[in-house]
């Protein structure tokens, strides 16, 4: 897949080029055998590093994985949590949700075949980009609330999304995955990740077999309101 055109679009209105990337950065899970150039990845990281982070502490670390044995290990680590994911989807549940716990038994989960789409992309991608975050520098201002913490992600996922936007702009593709992180002790040992550092995402990366030109997303009126959560739908 070629990079998005620049030319007249970027020369006349750079905002339109950015919006085109935002609207077309799909989750690529199938890749051609074509190699991914280190120079292209370096260019993406060079731009992605300007993402915001709490206190501008920039606690990210990227591991570029090409070794096939390591990618195979990612796939194997993904299988046990993928079993639960597949079983819950089949049961009509929201997978790995802590607000509404699963009603499935351990036996039902163990008997489920893990969806191949949750493990095989690691094997087949030319590169897997592993994004880590130093937990010693992130602010978790919701850590004392009685709910799942989300604030820490503000210091790593903007950077991660910048990488995905960069991949799309360069004609590459990837998808933000987290399944192997359910077995983080094994994952950290595999990659030599030190104490105090967490794995935030694994991004299988390559040249997509196909490209999606139109993504399915909710319209703005379904998620934007005025003044309050239960306010009137936002519209210009």
CATH code of the domain in which 102 resides: 3.40.109.10
Q: In total, how many domains does the chain have?
A: 1
Phi, psi of 211 (to 5 degrees): -125, 140
Looking at the domain assignment, is residue 232 inside a domain? no
Looking at the domain assignment, is residue 187 inside a domain? yes
Looking at the domain assignment, is residue 8 inside a domain? no
Q: What's the burial of 44, exposed, middle or buried (CB within 10 Å: 0-12/13-18/19+)?
A: buried
* pLDDT tens for the 236 residues of the chain, in order: 656 554 434 445 555 588 888 888 889 899 999 999 999 999 999 999 999 999 999 999 999 999 999 999 999 999 999 999 999 999 999 999 999 999 999 999 999 999 999 999 999 999 999 999 999 999 999 999 999 999 999 999 999 999 999 999 999 999 999 999 999 999 999 999 999 999 999 999 999 998 876 788 999 999 999 999 999 999 88
Q: What is the distance between the alpha carbons of residues 136 and 139, in angstroms, rounded to a whole number?
A: 9
Token pair 């360069």 in the structure block, residue: 170
Residue 212 is predicted with a pLDDT of 75
pTM over 0.85: yes
Tell me the C-alpha to C-alpha distance, in Å, between residue 15 and each of 20, 144, 151: 9, 39, 28
Residue 3 is predicted with a pLDDT of 62
Residue 20 is predicted with a pLDDT of 87
Q: 175 is in which domain, residue-wise?
A: 21-222
Looking at the domain assignment, is residue 110 inside a domain? yes
């Amino acid at each position: 897949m070629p990079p998005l055109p620049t030319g007249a679009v970027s020369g006349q209105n750079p905002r339109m080029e950015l919006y085109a990337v935002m609207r077309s950065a799909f989750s690529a899970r199938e890749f051609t055998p074509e190699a991914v150039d280190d120079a292209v990845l370096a260019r993406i990281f060079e731009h992605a590093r300007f993402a915001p982070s709490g206190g501008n502490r920039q606690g990210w670390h990227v591991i570029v994985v090409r070794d096939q044995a390591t990618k195979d290990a990612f796939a194997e680590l993904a299988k046990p949590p993928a079993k639960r994911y597949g079983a819950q989807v089949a049961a009509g549940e929201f997978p790995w949700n802590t607000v509404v716990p699963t009603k499935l038994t351990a036996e039902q989960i163990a008997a489920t075949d893990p969806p191949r789409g949750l493990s095989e992309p690691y094997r087949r991608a030319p590169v897997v980009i592993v994004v880590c975050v130093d937990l010693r520098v992130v602010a978790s201002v919701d850590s004392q609330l009685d709910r799942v913490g989300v604030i820490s992600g503000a210091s790593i996922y903007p950077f991660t999304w910048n990488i995905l936007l960069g991949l799309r702009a360069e004609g590459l593709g990837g998808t933000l995955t987290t399944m192997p992180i359910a077995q983080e002790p094994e994952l950290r040992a595999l990659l030599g990740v030190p104490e105090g550092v967490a794995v935030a995402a694994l991004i299988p990366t390559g040249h997509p077999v196909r490209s999606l030109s139109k993504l399915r997303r909710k319209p703005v009126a379904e998620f934007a309101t005025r003044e309050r959560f239960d306010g009137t739908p936002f519209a210009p």
